[in-house]
Amino acid sequence: MELEGLCVVWQGAILGGILFWIFSSSHLNLTQKLRSFLQPWVTHHVQTTTHMVLLIQSYQHGFLDALFSGLSCVVSVPFYTAFLPLLFWSGHGQLARQMTLLMAFCDYTGNCIKDVVSAPRPPSPPVRRVATTKDEEDNALEYGLPSSHTLNTVCLSGYLLHYVLIHTQIQGPYVNYLGVSLVCLFIALIGLGRIYLGMHSLVDILAGLVLGLGILAFWLVVDEHIDSFVTSGQNVTSFWVALSFLLLFAYPTPELPTPSFEYHTAFNGVALGIVAGVQQTYHQFHHGAVPHLFSENLTLPVFVGRVMLGIPTILIVKFCSKTLAKWIIPVVANTMGIPIKSSSYIKSDKQIKQGGYLLSKHGVFDVDTGIRFVQYAGLAWSVVDLVPSLFTYTNL
């Protein structure tokens, strides 16, 4: 009883702290004050280091365009969104849980800083900006500092290396040296590539590197505690629902609208779906004794069958979640007399084009935020709950 009471106390303290931060930062106008202090300094460094970007781009070559564009795709949010379900279905549940929650934490922290500072990317022209995918075109609409690709690469590749060295039989000083060297080389290539592609200045890359190292160091301290709470804690789902809801408000308003809040909303929903699903089905599908890929009970053909069944299923769930949310959320808001707006999901004669934040300064609820949150929460839940149930029924 004492342990349960202590759990309720710290959960309440966290939620209360976030709520206090929301009201105090709004009342004191902290975002604008921080921006007025940081933005001129960062903008100055972006402008004065443009010649470095142009120098790196002077080595322009089709091979380098393809190489750095490909590397950027490999560490992009859509890639991780596709990769993480495969990690769950291959039997590496703990690693998948940790990387999902770490990704959500990185995305929230990095995008908050981006929109607080609201610093520009390198000026184009004269800088040549290479955006070969729709995802890169959307990324170019965000502010520059910090580099999300650098931040995510430091955290996720660093954590993956840590997990492999700790939880596998691969040991030895030479193995550690080789692993660290490969991770450092990969991070360096990502940072260099973001400058070469004209997406970031040096100050953006350095900020992403420093922030990423700080987050990684923090996560290596708390990861086991977080995983223990998610798999066997008290009031996990209700706490995470409240946390996810508050984090939609605990987000700064940028100088101009960007897609950053949309990305945060999506991964916020993913984190909730994963936590809720794992908490309900941990002892069925995600405990430490589940078979891993290439073991006797999970051969490669069986894993391929899982992927062929799982991917269409989660896409159907995402579509159904989005459809239901588009119907239910506006109806509930209208019933409660809450004025709504939509920039993309709901078509109407009074549609407001400049959406993206939960509540506008006029108190209008943006239904796009709720719809996006629900559809990604549904997708993530299906990855760890519905799809593993289908694997059981189909003997996969």
> Could you confirm whether 287 is annotated as catalytic?
no
- What is residue 364's three-state secondary structure? coil
- Specify the DSSP element, H or E, that contains 125: none
Could you give the CA distance from residue 84 to residue 90 in angstroms, rounded to a whole number?
A: 10
149 catalytic per annotation: yes
Say which of 92, 200, 264, 286 is annotated catalytic. Answer: 200
Name the DSSP class of 49.
T
Contact 9, 236 (CB under 8 A): no
365: phi then psi, degrees, rounded to nearest 5: -80, 125
Q: Active-site residue among 27, 45, 149, 225?
A: 149
Residues pairing with 341 in the sheet: 366
| Torsion angles phi and psi, residue 291, rounded to 5 | -65, 145
CA torsion sign for 261, 81, 220, 273 is: positive
Determine the residue type at 19.
Answer: L
Per DSSP, helices labelled H in 233-358 are 236-249, 260-281, 300-335
Query: Token pair 């022209």 is at which residue?
Result: 125
Q: Which residues are catalytic?
A: 149, 200
